Amino acid sequence: DADVTQTPRNRITKTGKRIMLECSQTKGHDRMYWYRQDPGLGLRLIYYSFDVKDINKGEISDGYSVSRQAQAKFSLSLESAIPNQTALYFCATSDQGDTGELFFGEGSRLTVL
């Protein structure tokens, strides 16, 4: 089983719908992240959490919210999806050390019609 698991892997929805992407990890890491990947733009940070009580906005948080339900779970919500939120979303984790290495899930492809 993957260390970082994302569900769903693929989702097609309509404009205005609420969507939740879930992430769970078995690595025991405190730090979790949500990134968005768009062609030609690389990965951009949406939200990050350094522990259960710590939630921080990234560079593109507008239109998104997150919940850190437990050390191992970090979910991303789109309250009212719009077409320009169509993208590939990645959850990632890291430990507290200074290695800077992120461990990624396999991604959730979201299409908003």
Residue with Cβ nearer another protein (79 or 101) = 101
What is the token pair recorded at 52? Answer: 């259960």
Q: In Å, how far are 16, 52, 66, 111 from 84, measured between CA atoms? A: 12, 29, 19, 9
Residue with Cβ nearer another protein (75 or 94) = 94
Supply the minimum distance, in Å, between the C-beta of residue 47 and another protein: 11
In the complex, the residues that contact another protein under the rule CB under 8 A are 4, 31, 33, 35, 40-45, 48, 50, 58, 90, 92, 94, 96-102, 104-107
Residue with Cβ nearer another protein (5 or 17) = 5
Residues ≥6 apart with Cβ < 8 Å to 38? 44, 87, 88
